[in-house]
Every structure is written in C-alpha cells, then in structure tokens.
Amino acid sequence: MRVLVTGGGGFLGSAICRQLLVRGDEVIAFQRSAAGELESLGIKVTRGDIVDAESLITASQGVDAIIHTAAKAGLSVKYDDYFGPNVTGTENVLNACRRNGIEKLVFTSSPSVTHADGDIEGADESLPYPESYNSPYPETKALAEQQIMAANCRELRTVSLRPHLIWGPGDTHLLPKLLEKARHGKLKLPGPDKLIDTIYIDNAASAHLLALDKLETQPGVVGGKTYFISNDEPIAQGKIIRGLLETAGVTVDIQAVSPRLAITAGTVIEAGWKLLGLKSDPPLTRWSAEHLSTAHWYDISAAKRDLGYRAEVSIAEGLKRLASTFQTQL
C-alpha cells in the first residue's frame, strides 16, 4: 500500500511512518520541515503545509491512503492559530482524497473533544461533544473530527482515533515540558490522584495501522466511526508524571494544590495573555487547569472489538524503554 502521512516528521507521525515501512508499505511523509532521519530510512519526504490545498493535492497523487496526524496543539489562546491547521487543513485533506480518488483516510483526533468540566471515568464513544468549549484546541479538533466522520461514504472510507497523552522515546512535547517545570525539584498539580489514560507511542502508532487495515478489509464495520485509544491502564496523574521524570533521572516532589485555585489562576493568566496579545503559549489556561483537575480515562472495548487493538507495550515496559534512551545519551 502507498500511504501518505501528514505530519510525518512529528512524534506520532514518524512512528507511524516507521511501522508502515517495516511491514513493507511505501511511505510518503508530508510536512513543513526537513526530516533527514526519515529520508535515511528510505521514506520519501515531501515538504508542504496542510493549509496549502494544492501542495497537498500534488503530494497525494497516486497514494492509496492518507493517515492525517498533522495538527496544531498547545495552549495558545488565539482561535485562528488552530482553525487553519486543524479545520481548514482537514478540509484540504478530504478534498485531496476526493480529487485523487483516495479511498481510505485515518484521522488522529483527541479525547479532549469530549471533555467538559467534570470527571470522565470509563466513558465510551457514546459520550457526546460538550455544548461549548473554553479552548480553541479541542473545539477545532472536534470540528475536524466531525468533518471526517461526515465524509465517510462508499468512495472514501474514514475512521477517527482518539489517543490520549502519547509518550515515549522521541517525545518533543510532554516530557520536555515536564522536565522544564520540574527543574527546581517541585511540581504543583491540582489533581495528582486523579486517574487518567495515557498511551505509549508504539501502541498509538500501531492503532493507526490497524485502523487503516480495517478500512481495507471491513469498511462497513469501522467506516465513519471514532475510537478511544489508550494503554488501557488508568493511572494516577502524579504517578505517571513521576515515572516519566524518573526515566530522565529527575526526582520531583509533587505538591497538590486546590483545583479551584488552579482554575482561577488559569483563567486570569489566559485573560492577561489575550489582553496583552502575547504570541507564546501561556503556562496555564482555564482549560488546562480543568483538565489537570479531573479524571479522564476511557472504555476502549470498541477499539478492541472492531480494530483488534491491544496495548502491546505496557506502561512499565514503556518506561523502561524510555529510560534506556536517556542512558544511551549519557
């Protein structure tokens, strides 16, 4: 199969590219920057931006499927920063599929599209979208996911995956941010004992390959559906944060703070960022404080049943693998 991966040089995208290559697929990584490491493996890298419709149409000519991982994430408070990559970019991916007769599309969504303001414990895909969002990231990802699901038809089969908190070797977002915040040996957290889902990078990547294969063999089963994906090991936030930091040799004292105080602080900081027109991501927003204050873990029975998904790498094994990457850097 000839597969184009948008965001192919990113954390998740590059893992998907490698797994596709290992099993014998022809892989094209579509992304904005160079990716010498992927090219050295024999993966074709095509430079482009998903907000540029024509470059995407050109890059996807002759491919059998697209795995769409490219997106804008983060805590920026500017809606327009997200709408282009997440909504317009997804529209462009769909249009490229239609123009080039591509029949299979796997989309990387996020469980945050269902997050309101309370605990989510063991919820499945029947969990509705909230009536409103207080952050542009989940709102634009929800709009994109809805586009993907609505586009499913006989000519174009689509499926959406919602992996939660991806981590592992090669992570350039979660662990670096944790290391920066823990540099003084202390970390404040409003919900250290709240259970959350996470997913090891190899498990997240393999779920995308499983979804792609099911679109080929059982399109009537998975087409037009969304699936929560995780390691299926809900774990206390404080415990997984400590575990991740310890792989880098960092021991941290996690101090519990009042969720109400954290949410108030996030709201004030977010308002200040908007008022001053700052371009950088704020250290805390109302949405991120609410997210850190609540449990969010999911029932992945549907993914097990329809995709045949299983977390092949446990959290314990994943932490060992992550620690080994730091040891080789010493």
- Give catalytic residues, as residue numbers: 137
**DSSP string spanning 77-104?**
--HHHHIIIIIIHHHHHHHHHHHHT--E
As to burial, measured by CB atoms within 10 angstroms (0-12 exposed, 13-18 middle, 19+ buried), residue 305 is exposed
What is d(CA 129, CA 126) in angstroms, rounded to the nearest whole number?
9
Cβ atoms of 30 and 93 within 8 Å: the answer is no
Q: What is the identity of the amino acid at 239?
A: K
State the residue for tokens 């997210």: 291
SS (H, E, C) 7-33: CCCCHHHHHHHHHHHHCCCEEEEEECC
What is d(CA 16, CA 7) in angstroms, rounded to the nearest whole number?
10
What is d(CA 73, CA 132) in angstroms, rounded to the nearest whole number?
19
Helices (H) and strands (E) in the chain, counts: 14, 15
Hey, what's the torsion of the CAs at 30, 34, 40, 43, to 10 degrees?
10
